[in-house]
Every structure is written in C-alpha cells, then in structure tokens.
Amino acid sequence: MERLGSLEGCGRCLRHHRVIGYESSCIGVKEKPVLEHGGSVRKVARELGVDPKNWLDLSTGINPLGWRVPEIPALVWNRLPENEDGLEDAAKLFYGCRHLLPAAGSQAIIQTLPRLRRGGSVGIVAPTYAEHAHAWRKEGFDVVELEDVSLSILDQLSVLVVVNPNNPTARLIPKATLLSWWRRLQAHGGWLVVDEAFMDADAGESLSGDTGGEGLLVLRSIGKFFGLAGARVGFLLGSRTVLEAAQEYLGPWNVAGPARWVATAALTDHHWHIETRNSLAHKAQRLTHLLGEHGLIVAAKTALFQWVPNHDAMSWWERMARSGVLVRRFDHPRGLRFGLPGDESQWHRLSTVLTSITPDMAHSR
C-alpha cells in the first residue's frame, strides 16, 4: 500500500482549498448529486445489453470467498435484537478496543457523525470514498479536500476525515502520523475520523486499539474482509461521550437480530481469520502479476483491491464491460480499481478477457 507520511506537507491555509461541490478543484473525486458505487451490475448490464447472470463483478473490493453463513436459529428471527447477545464483546476483542457501537453498516455511521457536531470546517484527505464529503456537506459543513495535511491546516479544522487504507488508491497513512494529527485536533476540540473499512486483512496500522479518548473515531465494518456486505453491520469506535450521542440518534434495534448473530459468529471464528488473511495475501500477489502481464501496472494495493492509474481507463473499462467483466473506473484521478476474482473459473475468465483486449489497447496507444 502506498504510504503518505508527511505531516507538514502543504503549507497553504484553508482558504486556498476549494469547498467541495459537484466538481472539485483539488485532487478529489468529482461528485454527482447521486453518488456511484461499485457492484452496480444490473445497471451496467442493462445499459450494455449483457445478461446480469453472465457478469464477473470485480468492482466492489468485497472478499469473493467470504465467511460462510451457517443456518441461523429460528429463535433469532423471532426475538427483538438484544445488546447482551455477545456481539459487542466479540467486536471489542477482534478490534482490540474498549468501547464501540454497532450500527447498520459503516454507511449509517458516516451519515450520523455530522449530526453530532455544530458547524465548522471539515477536511477530507482526497481523493477518497465520496460518501464522507457528501454526508458532511448535506449537514451544512464547509468541506475541503486536502492533498497534504499541515499543522496550520489542522488548526483550522473541526474535523479531519481519513480513509485508511484509502479507497480507491490504497494509500496507507502510518499510524504515528495519524496519532499526531489526532493530538493536534484534540487540543482544540476537533475530531479525527478514520474509516478503516479495508483494514481487517492487515491491521498493523490500525488505530482501533487507540480509541477511547475524546476526538478519535474509527469506523470498522464486516462487509469487506468477511464478505458480509449484505448483513449491514459496522462499528463506531470512540469515546463513551460520542458513542452515547450516536446511540441516541440511531435509536434502538438499529442492527437486525440475524445480522448481529452472523456478525458475532464471524468475528469469533479465529481459525478462519488466519486462513483468510494468508489466502488473500496470495491472491493479491497473483492479481498483481496477472494485471502486469497485460500492461496494467498496479501502483498500490490492499489485500482486497488494487489501484491501477491509467490514462485510458475509460477504454479499458468499456472493453472489459462489453466482455462481461465489471471493474471500478475513476476519472479523478484517472484509473481502475480491481477486486479479487473468486474461484478458478473467475481467474480464467479475467485472464482470457485481458488477453483478448490487450492487443487492441496496445495498438490504440
């Protein structure tokens, strides 16, 4: 994963960074009134006239061989969700934290946090997952995109949001740097919000174990590493003060009982955790090699997705899509994000499609 380690970085003050609108002047992602996400197979299939059943979806960064869900006991469906069912304890052990709050996916937390503060400037280390900026802007905050983070900029922010490792570029900011940013923000009552949705496969730089004090908030999710995106279970790690305020806003039973049961079982399957981390590391290397063989050079990667900067991203995306392979395309910065294939048939299909279109793409250059 690419690392961003400079604390001083850009010395420009906040007024030189344009507020995020539908098109940003800095390096961040162009935003639209309706934000786009990976996994929109049916939409793309309809537009291109390809049967949705025939697609290989590599657009999400979700583990394609996720945790296998066993039969859920009937009683779990019959009862209201209960906080004493073991989920919180299992999650605290897995993440190594003192306090956390389950929610219906980290997206619910992203939309809740802006409602727990009053005004101010919010910095987003960009380019990154666009829902963060969207949520803060909707609540009336001035949102600025930041390529670099300096001490002078931190002093002007109420909140700094970092996705680590980053989506889509896989940039990884060292833990020591983030902790220094947190201390600077904490000094004037600010927050550091770190979205660690892709941290589970290699948590060496995670801040989860450092949460508990005021001003440091970490988001975690079982959707990516565990491959359980449909369960909609995420966690907010932080101080009791913020967690209680978030709980008050979210209300009771915000995570369904069956989802709580599945999340608890997955978080406590330690043997699966070890096997899966090893397997993902091997698959990530395999994907890097395969892409490189076809002229797609990986600039940075996580265990679950790989970032390929490419000026011909639109052409690559369209040619693959017409062959029934969906990857995620970004225009700002221009590039492609590849998730992992699952079984051998999917690896073979990706290889075949790349082999078929690479000569034409090379000729076009």
More confident residue, 363 or 344: 344
Q: How many CA atoms lie within 13 A of 226 on its CB side?
A: 26
Q: What is the pLDDT of residue 54?
A: 79
Q: What is the pLDDT of residue 360?
A: 76
- CATH 3.40.640.10 intervals, the chain: 69-268
Q: Compute the average pLDDT of residues 186-199.
A: 98
Asked whether the predicted pLDDT for residue 21 surpasses 60, the reply is: no
Say how far apart CA 208 and CA 188 lie, in whole Å: 22
User: What CATH class has 69-268?
Assistant: alpha beta
Contact 215, 242 (CB under 8 A): no
Asked whether the predicted pLDDT for residue 40 surpasses 90, the reply is: no
Q: Render pLDDT for 115-151 as a digit per residue (tens, 0 to 9).
A: 999 989 999 999 999 999 999 999 999 999 999 999 9
Contact 336, 326 (CB under 8 A): no
Q: What is the pLDDT of residue 332?
A: 87
Please report, rounded to a whole number, the percentage of residues in the chain having pLDDT higher than 70.
Answer: 85
Q: Which fold has domain 41-65+271-364?
A: Aspartate Aminotransferase, domain 1 (3.90.1150)
Q: Compute the average pLDDT of residues 194-201.
A: 98
Cβ-based neighbour number of residue 163 at 10 Å: 25
- CATH 3.90.1150.10 intervals, the chain: 41-65+271-364
Asked whether the predicted pLDDT for residue 5 surpasses 70, the reply is: no
Q: Render pLDDT for 24-34 as a digit per residue (tens, 0 to 9).
A: 323 344 444 44
Cβ-based neighbour number of residue 253 at 10 Å: 13
